[in-house]
Structure formats: structure tokens, C-alpha cells
């Protein structure tokens, strides 16, 4: 097992990565679990249909389960309200403990429920997707609003993240691509050599050893940044590389129709092109990334489904926007992110350029 410490001002915990180790990993939380009066597992219908038997066999304590809608559909007001209702009906208390068993959406919803039920109860992340190597770490919890993604939420750290990569074996290729987008992002904002290594890979054909290493490296990048800036006042914004334009594509499409990672790859291509206006980054770097994305079957079709004016309201709702000015995370060079204020005119220009290049 690999253990990655996450040190934040509010709470310190570990991300534990291993294979076929769920029982051992959960038992390592004995000192926390023995204080709990109930253990509640939140999962979604797709994950539970595949993993109910193996999870129930491996989980070493009695638990109750609340099954959510699959994917982003669980991050709604209705789902949030139903989850709170479930906890109240089961007579949960401040000593009850939640476990998020699923992908990033389950983790986001569970974390926000944990943050707000009786003003905060402990929860543990048990991710089942590659994408969740990013979302499960760092304490961002949220639900969606029709007018914007992750607009209602809280910073609330888990007690632990227990990552058993055996659960990844059942992922379809689309989910692998979506998840690896965040690992690619971590490489782009931290390590040029690692990024260049990605450019040579078929990311749906990684060995188990390569996958575990890339997940470890990505989590370490995120943990290092979160330790410096828990509530996104400064350097944590770098983790949003590719997300401003990507979230606009995702929101305009209707949550769940374009996978999160698919949208972020589009957003990273856009950010590379935008970076050419403000940094020494070259057009060839942008073209190489677009070629890599296409070779790995990332689709740019969603860009053509909307005009820039249709995307603009979603861009303006980005959480980094301040006083009507857009702020994009850009790269001075690969591995060196910074935040740049950008005009709508600049955004429109790069949107048009992206459309010609894809």
C-alpha cells in the first residue's frame, strides 16, 4: 500500500492506495469507527449494481446503505434533500459516520451532506473511478445548480481516502479517459517530463503499475497544493487549469451528457491557446496537445454544439470570476501555472481559434 499524507489547516489525513485492500484499509480507521454509533454508506445505483457483493464481503463492519442516482444526477437539490431525510429517518446523530463509495459525484454529494448534517459529521472517501483521485482529495464538496456546476458546497475534509484500484477494473473506456484527464492536468501544472511522457501513451492501455504510479503522482501534486491553500485563496486555483472553459462546455451540455474529463480536455486545449497571448508558450505545444487528445479519442464535438455567446453566461459564472472579469489559470510553461485576468474579447478570439484547429 502507498500512503500519501494530506496536511491542511483544518485537518490532516491520509490517502491510502492499494490493490484488494479494502478490509485492511477500513480496519486502519478503527479508532475513528469505534466512536461512531452508525456507519452509513452512500453509493450510486451503477456502482452498487456492480460491486454490492464484493463491497459487502470486504467491508468489515455492519453498515446501512443509501443508493443514489448514477453520475451527476445525484448532485441535485432533490438528491441532497433525500439523503438528509434518510439520515434523519435512520436516527443518525453527530456520532454517525458516512462513507462515499463511488465516483466523484457520489463523493461530492456525500461530502456536502456530511458537512451540513447536524453541522458536520465525519466521512470517508472510497473512490471507484480514476477521476475521483482528484475529486476525493482536498475537501471540495458540492452539488450542482442548473445555472452552474458545483455552485453550492463547502470545504470539508474527509477523515481518509481509501483507494482500492481493483474497483477500477470494471470502468468503461470513456470513464478511463475522463479520469485520466485530471492526471494529465496534474502533470501539466507540475512536471514537464511527466507531461511529455503522457504524450507518448495510449491512456486507456496503461498497465496497473503505471496507473497506480500516475494516481500517486497526481494525488501528491494535489495534496501539496491543498496543504498550502485549503480554501482556494491563492495557489489552489491552479488545480482549476482547463476548468473555466471546460465547465462552461459541461454546464451548457447539461450535467452528465459530457463527461467531466472530456470537458476538461477541451478546456485545457483552450487554455493552451489562450496562454499564447500572455506567455512564451508556442502554437506547436497547443497543436501537440490537441493531436494527443484526438489520438486518445477525446471528442471536441461539444464545442461545435454551442456558439460562444451561448457559452459566455457559463464562463461568467466561473467561481474565479471577480467583478465581471474572467480569470484563467494559464501556463508560463509546462509546470508553471499562474492566474491571468482575461477580457471577454480575448475569450471570444480564442474560442474562434479553437474551432478552426479542432
What is the domain-level CATH number for residue 317? 1.20.1090.10
Q: Which residue has the cell 453566461?
A: 313
Same domain? For 204 and 81 the reply is no
Domain final residue, candidates 143, 170, 197:
170
Residues 162, 91 share a domain: yes
What's the pLDDT score for residue 32? Answer: 95
Q: What is the DSSP annotation of 169-215?
A: GG--HHHHHHHHHHHHHHHHTT-HHHHHHHTT--TTS--HHHHHHHH
Are 161 and 232 within one domain?
no
Q: Are 152 and 110 contained in the same domain?
A: yes
Query: Which single residue is written with the C-alpha cell 472579469?
Result: 325
If asked whether residues 298 and 237 sit together in one domain, one would say yes
pTM of the model: 0.91
Q: Which three cell numbers stand for residue 146?
A: 442548473
Q: What nine digits make up the cell of 169?
A: 477494473
Please tell me the total count of domains within the chain.
2
Q: How far apart are CA 105 and CA 118, in angstroms?
A: 22
What pLDDT score does 319 carry?
Answer: 64
Q: Are residues 46 and 185 in the same domain?
A: no
Give pLDDT, residue 220: 95
Instruction: Provide the residue range defining the domain that includes 322.
Output: 174-357
Q: Which three cell numbers stand for residue 76?
A: 441535485
pLDDT beneath 70, residues of the chain: 319-320, 322-324
* CATH for 122: 3.40.50.1970
pLDDT of residue 146: 84
| Residue that terminates a domain, selected from 170, 186, 216 | 170
272 and 224 co-located in one domain = yes
Read off the pLDDT of residues 41-76 as tens digits, 9 standing for 90 and up.
999 999 999 999 999 999 999 999 999 999 889 999
- Residue 121 sits in the same domain as residue 216: no
How many other CB atoms are there within 10 angstroms of residue 314's CB atom?
A: 21
Distance of CA 174 to the CA centre of its chain: 15
Per-residue pLDDT, 320: 65
Tell whether 350 and 274 lie within a shared domain: yes
88 and 55 part of one domain: yes
Please check whether residues 163 and 178 belong to one and the same domain.
no
**Does one domain contain both 164 and 179?**
no
The residue among 118, 141, 170 that closes a domain is 170
The four Cα atoms 327, 333, 337, 338 give a dihedral, to 10 degrees, of: -50
Amino acid at each position: 500500500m502507498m500512503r500519501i499524507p494530506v496536511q491542511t489547516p483544518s485537518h490532516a489525513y491520509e490517502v491510502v492506495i492499494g490493490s484488494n485492500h479494502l478490509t485492511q484499509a477500513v480496519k486502519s480507521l478503527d479508532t475513528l469507527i469505534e466512536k461512531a454509533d452508525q456507519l452509513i454508506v452512500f453509493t450510486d445505483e451503477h456502482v452498487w449494481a456492480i460491486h454490492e457483493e464484493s463491497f459487502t464481503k470486504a467491508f468489515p463492519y455492519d453498515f446501512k446503505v443509501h443508493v443514489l442516482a448514477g453520475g451527476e444526477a445525484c448532485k441535485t437539490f432533490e438528491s441532497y434533500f433525500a439523503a438528509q431525510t434518510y439520515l434523519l429517518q435512520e436516527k443518525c446523530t453527530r456520532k454517525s459516520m458516512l462513507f462515499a463509495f463511488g465516483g466523484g459525484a457520489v463523493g461530492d454529494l456525500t461530502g456536502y451532506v456530511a458537512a451540513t448534517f447536524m453541522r458536520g459529521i465525519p466521512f470517508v472517501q472510497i473512490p471507484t473511478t480514476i477521476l475521483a483521485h482528484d475529486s476525493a482529495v482536498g475537501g471540495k464538496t458540492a452539488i450542482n445548480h442548473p445555472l452552474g456546476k458545483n455552485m453550492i458546497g463547502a470545504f470539508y475534509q474527509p477523515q481518509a481516502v481509501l483507494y482500492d484500484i481493483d474497483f477500477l477494473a470494471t470502468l468503461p473506456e470513456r470513464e478511463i479517459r475522463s479520469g485520466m484527464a485530471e492526471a494529465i492536468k496534474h502533470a501539466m501544472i507540475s512536471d514537464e517530463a511527466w507531461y511529455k511522457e503522457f504524450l507518448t501513451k495510449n491512456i486507456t492501455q496503461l498497465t496497473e503499475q503505471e496507473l497506480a504510479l500516475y494516481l500517486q503522482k497526481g494525488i501528491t501534486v494535489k495534496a501539496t497544493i491543498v496543504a498550502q491553500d485549503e480554501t482556494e485563496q491563492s495557489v489552489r486555483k491552479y488545480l482549476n487549469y482547463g476548468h473555466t472553459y471546460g465547465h462552461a462546455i459541461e454546464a451548457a451540455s447539461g450535467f452528465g451528457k459530457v463527461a467531466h474529463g472530456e470537458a476538461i480536455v477541451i478546456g485545457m486545449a483552450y487554455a493552451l491557446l489562450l496562454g499564447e497571448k500572455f506567455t512564451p508558450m508556442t502554437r506547436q505545444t497547443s497543436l501537440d496537445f490537441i493531436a494527443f487528445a484526438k489520438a486518445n479519442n477525446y471528442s471536441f464535438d461539444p464545442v461545435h454544439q454551442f456558439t460562444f455567446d451561448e457559452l459566455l453566461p457559463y464562463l461568467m459564472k466561473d467561481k474565479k470570476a471577480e467583478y465581471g472579469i474572467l480569470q484563467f489559470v494559464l501556463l508560463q510553461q509546462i509546470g508553471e501555472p499562474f492566474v491571468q485576468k482575461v477580457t471577454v474579447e480575448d475569450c471570444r478570439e480564442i474560442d474562434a481559434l479553437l474551432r478552426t484547429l479542432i
